[in-house]
A and B are shown apart, each in its own frame.
Chain A
């Protein structure tokens, strides 16, 4: 098991190398140069710095491979993600500040999503073709069809028209006021979680139906077990294995969704940081965020692979 984890982590290195290369190069290929943007700002233009001087000051005059080498070297040897081109603050500081917020949002959305998807999926399967099943399936299709940015906007707009209430936009950190923070995060989490739950619910239902047809379920009934034990003890574990895989696959979707939710609900997470950085072509921040997201997705998938062992006794880690 430990050897397996070590090997898996080592295997991440080449993946990370290519990911960092792609991230670094593509960001610099976005049309619209940061220098042009800066020169159009009055204060910089007033400082009478020329194009070459600016490029030199920001280290952008070097060939791209040199820039890449410096960037990777700094991360590897100093844990330094560089400095923001605009604020001149360390990127790592920004990331550390924003990461927990996005992590919290993603985790809450995942919890909401699973606690909606799994029970409803199971219910839908054991009551196949009843009105309850149809309602559950319709809800799933609705959640799949309705984009979360639309739902988020509606939640922002309509309550304020009807009741003069809108979700708070002044962000409260968890460390200052946990309840206030959770109250603020819960609405975007529910919206994001429901969007994620749609596919998970369908898969849970399908897998449960599949498992409930198996011979060993008939054996369980023949032992005299009631429906609750047949479903919870005998069927669910077998049905959840592919569901766990799906959760791993949904991780990038979750992060992408979080970016949108942060924008709508003005939550200062990585998403908001990224959007601002992209509009300003703040390369070190963009690459930093992408790299962190990439690492997160890779680790989520590692955790998913490890959790198979808990569900399926046939899985051995070697």
Chain B
């Protein structure tokens, strides 16, 4: 087996707050193979966005800090690079798409300039050529009449169009890895599917890998090869997407699935929400972070933190009762 494109090892990111240190990401490890789509799933505050930002070292410091771990990208540890080194990776080898297309584009700069900027920066192309390329990219993300649109500003675009611009920007330097942080959360439902399909198509075309961060399991089912489920800053389950759907081996994953409608199978099945609130990361219990909300939790769950173990081939779960869940 060849080395993965990206290998995150034991990543821990903390934030210092007035209420003490918050472990937003705590000992997270996962791999992304070239061309693969990995979904990171979890509720708000589960640490999925912080994980994504940590990869490109975009965590604001202070208050945030990557305390330990390795982020190996093409064999190099991104956390050990100097400033110029990480800047050469950002936008060129690894690109990022953010959640809010409304606020993630600069209101004072033309769309052409913002899309052409990575090309101008990383390829050292003159602006005229970078803008040519930008027009081409706008065509790729199905923005009609791209060339004449170069000189328009973000406020002249709808939300969906802006997210297309963000995608064009991310694709500009044909990165090996695209990190999409909830790329469709802020969009209308009708536009969401279009954008995701476009993203998937274009990454496949460019043979780029993608980390797709979402809280929507429906999205995962359609677009991801593998899934990482996060809860309370840790990975609770990871498996190939099909396997995870068929036999979830963590009560949190099961809860997530029970709370969203499924088109296949039993449509009469009632939706069951997960009771309780996501954990407060500043005061995590000593045991399993999900124990307070888990109806099957035992004294052991509350006292001892279950390790992430390979419960079935390629299927890892951090639950003492992973076998019982699969049965």
Contact = CB atoms under 8 A, between A and B. Distances in A.
B169 A221 contact: no
Contact of A222 (B88, B96, B109, B122): B96
Contact of B106 (A216, A224, A226): A216
Interface in A208-230: 214-216, 218-226, 229
B90 A219 contact: no
B43 interface: no
A313 B106 contact: no
B105 A224 contact: no
A313 B110 CA distance: 9
Contacts of A222: 56, 58, 90-91, 95-96, 98
Interface core residue of A221, A224, A313 (most chain B CB under 10 Å): A224
Contacts of A229: 121
Interface in B50-72: 56, 58
Interface in B81-126: 83, 87-92, 95-96, 98, 100, 103-110, 117-118, 121-122
Question: Dominant SS at the A interface?
Answer: helix
A83 interface: no
Nearest to A227: B83
A52 interface: no
Contacts of B105: 216, 219
A311 interface: yes
A218 B90 CA distance: 11
Nearest to A241: B108
Given A224-B122, A238-B106, A314-B107, A218 B58 contact: yes
Contact of B104 (A215, A226, A313): A215
B118 A224 contact: yes
A234 interface: yes
A219 B106 contact: yes
A251 B229 CA distance: 59
A57 B312 CA distance: 112
Given A225-B121, A314-B107, 15 more contacts: A215-B104, A216-B103, A216-B107, A219-B169, A222-B98, A223-B118, A225-B117, A226-B83, A234-B109, A237-B108, A238-B108, A312-B107, A313-B107, A313-B108, A313-B153
